[in-house]
Amino acid sequence: MDKVVASAAQAMADVPDGASLAVGGFGLSGVPNALIEALYERGVTDLRVVSNNCGAMDSGLAVLLSAGRISRVTGSYIGANKEFARQYLGGELEVELIPQGTLAERLRAGGAGIPGFYTPAGVGTQVADGGLPWRYDGEGGVAVTSPPKEVREFDGTPYVLEHAIRTDFALVRAARGDRHGNLVFARSSRNFNPLAAMAGRITVAEVEELVEPGAIDPDAVHLPGIFVQRVVALSPEQAADKAIEKRTVRG
């Protein structure tokens, strides 16, 4: 039952080129930076990433993106990540943009064993009708577009069919975790980390504080250890490394 591995490098040692990854985090909150850095150091490439966003500045998934290691992103938000936008518009990166709530539910459904679901989000738009540019050709044209999706009516209201997401690996960051993989997430990091963890066939969690089994009240567990295969304890310096995308102060 002890799922702790010695280092992030060891935890990422079997991630191959071309792997699909569900990566937790919301903005720069709750991002598994140590695991991402371990992937970068190994030189893994052609990664297909599912995450709310793709990092910012030189933090989070932006480390892999800037190095040209990511070939496809499934997410909701490009934001102020200029390199993300440049690669997408330049035809270097395939991008599937999804409504944020739909992305969250597709990840959760993958972990719950639900193959698909119907949602009203996107009905009457290219989300349902198809035609969203997934990849540009680098010369101003579109090379790959999204396909149309099934739409059905329930009680007179149209809904679009969305498929669950499952990935080869999931990388998440938790505030606390025990040796059995039970995790507690802090504030905004709880938005996508539990859902990403559920979607991975092999889920690796970096934890800011590692505790012994029984130290976490069962009622306080946000994600049970059944979804987690590997746990990496962060050093105090790694645990304290939390980037702020836009720092604001009161006058």
Per-state percent for the chain, helix, strand, coil, to nearest 5: 25, 30, 40
Q: What span, in angstroms and rounded, lies between the C-alpha atoms of 159 and 61?
A: 33
Spatial CB neighbours of 106, under 8 Å, sequence gap ≥ 6: 98, 162, 163, 164, 165
Rounded to the nearest 5 degrees, what angle is found at the Cα of 161, between the Cα atoms of 111 and 96?
75
Q: What span, in angstroms and rounded, lies between the C-alpha atoms of 92 and 71?
A: 7
Q: How far is C-alpha 184 from the chain's CA centre? A: 17
In sequence order, what DSSP letters do the residues of 94-151 get, joined into one string?
Answer: EEEE--HHHHHHHHHHHHHT--EEEESTTTTSHHHH---EEEE-SSSSEEEEPPP--E
Cα dihedral 112, 64, 32, 101 sign: negative
* Domains of the chain with bracketed CATH: 4-115+164-240 (3.40.1080.10)
Average confidence (pLDDT) over 62-70: 95
pLDDT band at 226 (very low <50, low <70, confident <90, very high): very high
Average confidence (pLDDT) over 2-7: 96
Q: For residue 168, which of 201, 207, 145 has the smallest C-alpha distance?
A: 201
Length of the chain: 251
pLDDT tens per residue, range 12-45: 999 999 999 999 998 888 999 999 999 999 999 9
Q: What span, in angstroms and rounded, lies between the C-alpha atoms of 64 and 39?
A: 8
Q: What span, in angstroms and rounded, lies between the C-alpha atoms of 49 and 133?
A: 17
Long-range contacts of 76-81 (CB under 8 A, 24+ apart): 76/52, 76/100, 76/103, 77/52, 77/53, 78/53, 78/54, 79/27, 79/53, 80/56, 80/245, 81/53, 81/54, 81/55, 81/56
Residue 242 has pLDDT above 80, yes or no: no
pLDDT band at 240 (very low <50, low <70, confident <90, very high): confident
At residue 244, the pLDDT reads 75
Report pTM.
0.92
pLDDT tens per residue, range 133-153: 999 998 989 999 999 999 999
